[in-house]
Amino acid sequence: MKKVILAGSAALFLFSGLVSAHGPVRQKAEEEITINAPAEKVWSIIKDFGDLSWLPPVKSVTVNGGNTKGATRVLTLKDGGTITEELKKYDEKALSYAYKITDISTAKTITHSGAEEKVPVFPVDNYAASIDVTPNGDTTTVSWKAGYYRAYMNNNPPAEMNEEAANTAVTSVLKSGLENLKALAEK
Amino acid sequence: MFPVNKMTVAMLVATVFLSALVSKPAAAGPYAYISNQLDDSVSIIDVEQAKVLNTIAVPGKPAGIAVSPDGRYCYVSTPEAKGFAVLDTQTHQLLNKVEVSDGALGIAVAPDGKRVYVADWYTNSVAVLDVSDWQVIKRIAVGESPSGLIISPNNRWLYVANRLSNSVSKIDLNTLTIKDTVQVGQHPFGLTIDGRGERIYVANVQSDDVTVVDANRMQPVATVKVNMLPYAATLALNDSRLFVTNQDDGSVSVVDTESLKEIALIKVGDKPEGISTHPDDRHVYVANWFDGTVSVIDGKTLRVVDTIKTGEGSRAFGQFFGK
């Protein structure tokens, strides 16, 4: 036992001398909003996978397929660039759908650690999200959840592709989307 | 007569009271150890009380879990600390940190408790460590991005799911060399083995199915379709039922291991990941990453009987039950 404890303190000592270098850890974001409108009205605004007119950063959408699993949509952003998403789950009764990002266009190329890195317009990787509408009598709760990784999958990410960049970007989309949905539904 | 009896009762009461004070924690057991990756902690669940008994700070984004067969130690892989942490399950202290390599994730302990195996996501190898001195005995090259690890009950074979190679390697634990490799579905992640060591069940995150493999011949027996993003699996009820977490569906698929068909789909929390079976062989515990909770499933009624709040990013990838 003594031996183990000694080895432990040696390891601790080594640890303190190391710079943090590691692989990415999955991140999460969740935003919720209460809307003073019935759930049917709220759901009617967002229910079509091919319609993102309620989401401020999106300029236009082209969709391939209906509200069924496997449908894809390409979002053209107001700031330029595209994001391709696939519908993974659609539940009309539960007023919910889930989707995944399958492709993100490049915003710019940077040099990091001696290599060229493509910074995506939405700085995430392996992004999956779901949106849920829950009726509470006269009001409605909408919850939007996302799980994702930072865009840089190797150790020591550049600032444009680290966890903070990913979390900021995702939270901003979720918040602005829900706020606008509220405004539209309460009109 | 009467006073003596009273005295005996009083002494008994005192003894019970004292022993309750001395033994810490109350040795009820079993316990479930849940890694909370975004909180840098491990929740210790007292299963009898269905609540978190204690939360231990474990730096390094804890992910994988293995518990020594005697229940004395819990090993937690810490990818950001390049190795794993050793927790003392009696004192609830972080006893030791062992450095292994850059991408430590999957972790398993030998059925005799003498060795710990750590899969490394980046170096495509499995490290074999001796628990007596925490030295790496060998690093065995396997497929790409090795993830889940499972050891045969007779301590003879170690099976490794190689995520990016779409394969499972079988390692001979006497020679520490690869004996065989089998191709499975797309992106195998978690896997489990039956009590007789005859079949392994591999959850394939990308092909949304489970590959059933004959562990001796290393041949696929069947492919069972489950739901979105199957992540990890566990067996219960005398190996008659397989429970698989579907990460992107917020559900657990129940597969009859005889007909090899999905017979039920149970709603759990959001983004279920780690899954393990209670030593009673009936209840199944699921760590819900997004919700930071653990769902308790009664394997017989196929209902969620409890939901326990744990911490942010509960993963518990591995066998997380201890005595």
- The answer to whether residue A5 scores a pLDDT higher than 70 is no
pLDDT tens digits, one per residue of B129-145: 999 999 999 999 999 99
CB-based contact B311:B55 (threshold 8 Å) = yes
CA-wise closest residue to B128 among B100, B86, B162: B100
Task: Say which CATH superfamily domain A22-185 falls into.
Answer: START domain (3.30.530.20)
Substitution target in B270, B273, B314 with the highest count of A β-carbons within 10 Å is B270
Question: Looking at CA atoms only, how far is residue B71 from chain A in angstroms?
Answer: 17
- The answer to whether residue B159 scores a pLDDT higher than 90 is yes
Widest pairwise Cα distance in chain B: 78
Question: Looking at CA atoms only, how far is residue A155 from chain B in angstroms?
Answer: 9
Interface of B with A (CB under 8 A): 37-38, 61, 79-83, 86, 95-99, 102-103, 121-122, 132-134, 228, 248-249, 270-271, 289-290, 312-313
pLDDT tens digits, one per residue of B84-127: 999 999 999 999 999 999 889 999 999 999 999 999 988 999 99
Contact A23 B122 (CB under 8 A): yes
Q: Quick check: pTM over 0.90?
A: no
Query: A6: nearest CA in chain B?
Result: B96
Per-residue 3-state assignment (H helix, E strand, C coil) for chain B: CHHHHHHHHHHHHHHHHHHHHHCCCCCCCCEEEEEEHHHCEEEEEECCCCEEEEEEECCCCCCEEEECCCCCEEEEEEHHHCEEEEEECCCCEEEEEEECCCCEEEEEECCCCCEEEEEECCCCEEEEEECCCCEEEEEEECCCCEEEEEECCCCCEEEEEECCCCEEEEEECCCCEEEEEEECCCCEEEEEECCCCCEEEEEECCCCEEEEEECCCCEEEEEEECCCCEEEEEEECCCCEEEEEEHHHCEEEEEECCCCEEEEEEECCCCEEEEEECCCCCEEEEEECCCCEEEEEECCCCEEEEEEECCCCECCEECCEEC
Contact A8 B96 (CB under 8 A): yes
- The answer to whether residue B22 scores a pLDDT higher than 60 is no
Query: A89: nearest CA in chain B?
Result: B249
* Amino acid letter for position B268: V
Question: Looking at CA atoms only, how far is residue B112 from chain A in angstroms?
Answer: 18
ipTM over cut 0.90? no
What tokens does B126 get? Answer: 């499995």
Q: Which residues from chain B sit within 8 angstroms of residue A4, using beta carbons?
A: 86, 95-96, 132-134
Contact A26 B228 (CB under 8 A): no
CB-based contact B249:B201 (threshold 8 Å) = no
**End-to-end Cα, chain A, rounded Å:** 69
Contact B97 A8 (CB under 8 A): yes
